[in-house]
Structure 1
Amino acid sequence: MRLCRSAGAALGALALVLATPTSASAATGDFFYKYVGLDGSPQAAVLHDPDSLACITLPEVADPDASAPAFAPHNDTGAWAIVFTEPGCAGDFWTLRPHGRPATDRLKLRSVYFTDQR
């Protein structure tokens, strides 16, 4: 699995994020990810029924100067998840299908956006 590095593709994803109408909805299910804790050991986290149509910066890895990115996301929600390498849904991105298989530890992320559109 490799991250999409095209600036045009990143702009396209950003346009999708900005063009999607906002509403108070949630992606039903759980979104799992791992991160390195303050003691240096791997930790697991979950977003239960996360907000959709809004950028979610993962709190444990929000500051690139203070933490390594999260890794190994698993989208077990009913929505498409677009994971980003930077906070605020910026940087390189990868799309994870609804109720998909867990990604490898090589897939890094700091923020995620859930949508019903691909």
Structure 2
Amino acid sequence: MKLRTTLGAGLGALALVLSMAGSAQAAQGNFTYKYVDGFGVERQATLHDPHSGKCINLYAVGDDEEQPGYGPHNDTDTAVTVYLGANCQSPGWRLKAHGQPAKDTLEVRSVRFDAPQAR
């Protein structure tokens, strides 16, 4: 009887740990990019601990009718693909985790972060 109770408790704890690991679907760190606002002023935007595994249209540049952002910097713990098109359309460029800032010639409108590795 004790073995069955212990085994049940162990499996329950394992299921709880695995479900908690799956709910943490965010890259940890900051992703930044630059853009020019409607007044012609260069601004910088930051995504802090961005969601992983889904497409994110970036603030102020995430529409194909707007000027794209540029010079992205991935300082998160997961790789990211940046896209010139909104809704993660068009060819994408991969930026590694904790990488160097990209050149200002790399334009961006949307991003998708890889699912984070088990921590």
| Mapped partners of 1:51, 1:116: distance in 2 | 9
The secondary structure found in structure 1 opposite 2:91 is strand
Question: 1:18 matched to which residue of 2?
Answer: none
Residues 1-118 of structure 1 mapped to structure 2, 5 A cutoff:
25-65=25-65, 67-116=66-115
Give the deviation of 1:63 after TM superposition: 2.1
Higher strand residue share: 1
Question: 1:3 matched to which residue of 2?
Answer: none
Q: Which runs of 5+ in 2 are unaligned?
A: 1-21
Structure-2-length-normalised TM-score: 0.75
The secondary structure found in structure 2 opposite 1:56 is strand
Give the deviation of 1:38 after TM superposition: 1.0
Instruction: State the aligned residue count.
Output: 95
| Mapped partners of 1:45, 1:59: distance in 2 | 8
What stretches of structure 1 move > 4 A for 4+ residues in a row?
Answer: none
Higher helix residue share: 2
| Mapped partners of 2:33, 2:48: distance in 1 | 12
Structure-1-length-normalised TM-score: 0.76
Q: Which runs of 5+ in 1 are unaligned?
A: 1-21
Q: If you compute each CA radius of gyration, which structure gives the higher value, 1 or 2?
A: 2
Calculate the aligned-residue CA RMSD, in Å. Answer: 1.6
Give the deviation of 1:41 after TM superposition: 1.3
Give the deviation of 1:64 after TM superposition: 2.0
